[in-house]
Each structure stands twice: as structure tokens, then as C-alpha cells.
Amino acid sequence: MEFQDYCKLLDGAGRHIVGIGLTAFGRISPALVTSNYEIVCYKWGSDLSFLKRFCPIRAVQRDFSPNEVEKLNTQAILKHPGVLRYLQSLGKIAVFSYKHTEWVDRFCQEQGWLLLANPRAIRDQFEDKDAFFTLVRRLGLAPIPGEQWEVEKFTEDDYRRLRKRLGRQLVFQLTSFSEGGGKGTYFINDISDFRTFLEDAKGRLDLSRTQLVNVSRFIDGISGSITGCVTRYGVLTGLVQTQILDVPELVNLRERRGIWRGHDWSFRHYSSAIQKGAERIARNLGEAMAHQGYKGVFGVDLMIDAKSGKVYPNEINPRYTGAFPVYSFLQLQKGEIPFDVFQLLEFLDINYTMDFAAVDRSLKAPKEGAHLVLHNKDPERWAEVKGDLKAGVYKLSSKFKVKSEKFGVEWVREGVTPLDIQHPDEFVLTDGVPRRGDLVKPHLRCGKLVFGRTILDGTHNRLNEWARTIVNEVYFRLDLQPVDLP
């Protein structure tokens, strides 16, 4: 079957598909593969009018009463009285969401809606870092050398002995902390880092039950990842991609390290040996997940040893990852069938055929481009958007100089996806771009920058000068100012 044949199957699915999420851009990828789709999001970003060319979109901030949303997540959007009435008017729908709670599972069942995601009972077994490393060892996939300790019993003397056994630089991962983006990961270089870890971990965890931390040797390498998709025909795998971590322009480095902020597909096209090693890891893990009832898209975080070229599995993300929806657009650019096709076909239980080997081979074309996620970098205070920078295609221009940089950013034309970049020097500002006067909660995303070329400078945690200039100028123009809410 060809791509268009799969699209026709999805167009004729018995249920209308509705994406639910904070921003429309974050749920746009199914619109690339079926016309049987619409989105209900929270944010009325300045990219919404252009994204509506892909599918119908309703935003709580514009089409419903935003004051009735308690939190900014899928559960709160579904509970909104106006949203609920609208969704009920659509009949027996299918709900597309990245990550959800047990309440969302139950609520969709009560409404007679089909949730296009794995139940938490299946997903959570792979979120747990302790279970992950147990699985890795059982499958014969060599993990990074390390040990496991109880947080409450972990002492400074234990830490000093670990340094002697594993090395001076260590990485700690809390096993029960399932939030993505590296927020359960700590880089420990000295006793001060260790004390900070203990204080932070004990403040975040429920110590009435045993809490574990995986301690591993720090690998001097590249933080990578690979996408997989469990289908009835086997586990499809994508391309090894470079993750962007801890760039100071995007992260408050007073906090923990290991914080994810994007991908750079142009930075490095990895060797056949590294690609095959990553595929083996993803396929073995995906097959084990399938045995537990898992299906659809997942991601595996990797550590690629710069010296030996060895690939180590570091974490499973049993859901859509932060690479999407940009990765789906890049797949279309290369003539690939997006992973979204198989995610939807599997959960909608549609009969289809596939030449598995041919499709899997086709998913490895080198990709070009990068993306960065913008946040309110203040970990404690809300911010008000004092500036005015709308979504669109931009470029650096000497005509728009600012105090801090030699160049400013110049709006070129409408466009909010990677497909809208026509020149290597252009970039896109998209993903719920806030308007003047909007409030942004601590750590909340406030946009995404998409590029058509590499933005890294030699490693995964340093932007090149071009990208640094863009990031600094975009933040300058958005002008996020801390505010105290009543």
C-alpha cells in the first residue's frame, strides 16, 4: 500500500478524530495524514489562523470560557463544560492525546470515546526507570555501567565510594519520576551536587515508600534518541537523532541539568554501526512492550559514546515524544510514511496491509532541520508577555538591530511549519506563540523555533552563533516580565 492508500483508510474510519492539547501545533500531525480530524486546544496563539489550513481548530481561550479551565492539561480541557458539550455533539469520537491521566482513561470510556493511546496500566510499567533497566538487562542490551540506591539511605560516604568505583562524574536518575524532559535526571560532579540532589529528591518524592535512584558512570558522548512504532507487523524504527540539552539560552542552569530543549537532525548523520545499534535497541524494547499489549509510537533515549561509538539505552518514553510534530513534517519532506499513520491505524483497529521490510527501510532517510522549545525560564514566577512577536517565517536582518545583538529578526511571511522554510537562513516561530498581555506560568512553553539547518556548535549543549542570536532576540522581543498573581 502507498501513503495515499493509508490516508484513504483513515479518512473512512468509523470515528471522527479530535486532538486535545495545550497548543494546536502540538497536535497537528494527524492532520497531515487524514482529513477526518480536528483539534480542540487551550491556547489561542498567533499561529492558529495559519494552522487552520490543515484542519478545523477550536481554542478554549477564544471559543470557550478560559476561566473554567483549572489546569493546562488534557484532563482540564476535557472537563471544561463548553468543550464537553461540543465533543458530545460530535458523537462517538476518537481522542488523540500524547500523555494522559487515569481520569482521562475512565472519562473517555464513560463517554463512549476511543482514546488513541495506551492505557496507563500498560504505559506506566515502562515509565519506571527501575523496571526499564531490569528489562534492558533481561533483553541483553548492555546499559551504562552503574548501580542502584535507596534515596533515603544514600549517604555522602556511599557517594564517595561510588566515585571511586564508577568515576568522578556520575549521572543520577530517579526511577519513579515519570515526567519527561530530563526532569528526573541529575549530573553529579562533586559533593555539593550530591547534597543538592538529596535535598531536591527528598522534597519531590513520597518517602513513605522506598524510592530508588539509578547511579551510572557519566559517558562523554552525544545525547541521542530514536523513534519506534509497534505495529501488528513488527516494530518500525526511525533515524537516530541528536537531542539538545542544557543550552544556557533556554535553561535556567541554577536548576538540575539534563533538561531537554529540542533536536538537531542536521548536526550529525550517524554511522551505519550506530544506526543499526540503535535500531536493535528500539526493536528489542518495542517487541517486549508489544508482549505487554503496547502499540503505537514510542521513543528511546540513547547515549552515544563519542570515543567507542557504542550506543547505550537510557530511557523509554512510551508515548509520542517531543520530536513530534516536527518529525512528521520532516518525514513528509523525505517522502516517508509518517509514524502517525500507523499509530492511528493500530488504535482505530483498521485492517491494512504493509510490506514491513520495505516500509522500515524507507524510514531511515537523513533529515535536515532542527527545533527548539521556548519556555518561561523562571521556575517559580508567572510572566507577562510585554512584547509583540507574532508567529511566522523570520530571518535575521541587519536592518533590525537591537541593543544586545548585531542583528534583529525580521518577519518574512506567513508560515508555521518546517514546510514553510524556503531558504537556509529562514526560521519559523510557531506553537502557541503568545500575544501581548498573555500570562505564562513557570516553566510553561511559550513557543517553538523551527530551523532548516543545524543550530549546534560541536556538541549537544551548545548553540552556534546564528541560533544563539535568534534565541536571544526572540526572547528580547517577547519580553517576558515576572508578575505576582493575586
Residues 6+ apart with CB under 8 A from 485: 382, 439
Q: Do the beta carbons of residue 394 and residue 268 sit within 8 Å? A: no
How many residues are given for the chain?
486
CATH number, domain at 8? Answer: 3.40.50
Number of domains in the chain: 4
Tell me what pLDDT residue 181 has. Answer: 47
CATH number, domain at 318? Answer: 3.30.470.20
> How many other C-beta atoms lie within 10 A of the C-beta of residue 348?
19
CATH number, domain at 149? Answer: 3.30.1490.20
Question: Residue 207: which pLDDT band, with cuts at 50, 70 and 90?
Answer: low
Rounding to the nearest 10 degrees, give the CA dihedral for residues 358, 361, 367, 372: 100
Same domain (yes/no): 248, 318? yes
Task: Of 343, 309, 363, give the one whose Cα is nearest residue 6.
Answer: 343
| Rg from Cα positions in the chain | 22
Tell me what pLDDT residue 206 has. Answer: 67
Tell me what pLDDT residue 484 has. Answer: 86
> How many other C-beta atoms lie within 10 A of the C-beta of residue 386?
12
Q: Give whole-number Cα distances, 238 to 30, 268, 351, 466, in Å.
A: 18, 15, 23, 28
* HSE, side-chain direction, 13 A CA sphere, residue 386: 9
Cα 131 from Cα 285, distance rounded (Å):
12
| pLDDT digit string, tens, across residues 13-32 | 889 999 999 999 999 999 99
Question: Residue 257: which pLDDT band, with cuts at 50, 70 and 90?
Answer: low
> How many other C-beta atoms lie within 10 A of the C-beta of residue 351?
7
- Measured over the CA atoms of residue 321, residue 325, residue 327 and residue 332, the dihedral's sign is positive
Same domain (yes/no): 228, 338? yes
Query: Span 434-451, mean pLDDT?
Result: 92
Tell me what pLDDT residue 180 has. Answer: 47
Cα 368 from Cα 374, distance rounded (Å):
21
Q: Is 208 helix (H, G, I), strand (E, B) or coil?
A: coil
Cα 118 from Cα 132, distance rounded (Å):
17
Q: Is 187 helix (H, G, I), strand (E, B) or coil?
A: strand
Domain span at residue 181?
145-218
> How many other C-beta atoms lie within 10 A of the C-beta of residue 180?
18
Mean predicted lDDT score pLDDT of the chain: 90
pLDDT > 90 fraction of the chain, expressed in percent and rounded: 65
Tell me what pLDDT residue 406 has. Answer: 54
Domain stops at, among 194, 218, 242: 218
Same domain (yes/no): 113, 123? no
Same domain (yes/no): 347, 276? yes
Cα 182 from Cα 159, distance rounded (Å):
21
Q: What angle separates helix 326-333 from helix 339-347, to the nearest 10 degrees?
A: 120
Tell me what pLDDT residue 459 has. Answer: 81
Q: Do the beta carbons of residue 47 and residue 430 sit within 8 Å? A: yes
Task: Of 238, 208, 199, 241, give the one whose Cα is nearest residue 222.
Answer: 241
Question: Residue 253: which pLDDT band, with cuts at 50, 70 and 90?
Answer: low
Q: Do the beta carbons of residue 172 and residue 214 sit within 8 Å? A: yes
Same domain (yes/no): 279, 330? yes
Cα 250 from Cα 375, distance rounded (Å):
7
Task: Of 185, 183, 125, give the one whose Cα is nearest residue 318.
Answer: 125
Domain stops at, among 366, 390, 413: 366
Same domain (yes/no): 301, 355? yes
Q: Is 414 helix (H, G, I), strand (E, B) or coil?
A: coil
Tell me what pLDDT residue 118 has. Answer: 94
Q: Do the beta carbons of residue 77 and residue 60 sit within 8 Å? A: yes
**Range among 36-40, 170-174, 440-444 rated most confident:** 36-40
Lowest mean pLDDT among 21-30, 192-201, 328-337, 471-480: 192-201
Same domain (yes/no): 163, 202? yes
Q: Work out the end-to-end distance of the chain between its first and last CA atoms, rounded to an integer number of angstroms.
A: 57
Cα 124 from Cα 122, distance rounded (Å):
6
Task: Of 395, 223, 416, 228, give the one whose Cα is nearest residue 329.
Answer: 416
Same domain (yes/no): 306, 168? no
Same domain (yes/no): 111, 124? no
Tell me what pLDDT residue 308 has. Answer: 84
| pLDDT digit string, tens, across residues 147-186 | 888 888 899 999 998 888 888 889 888 876 655 444 678 8
Same domain (yes/no): 251, 277? yes
Domain stops at, among 366, 384, 412: 366
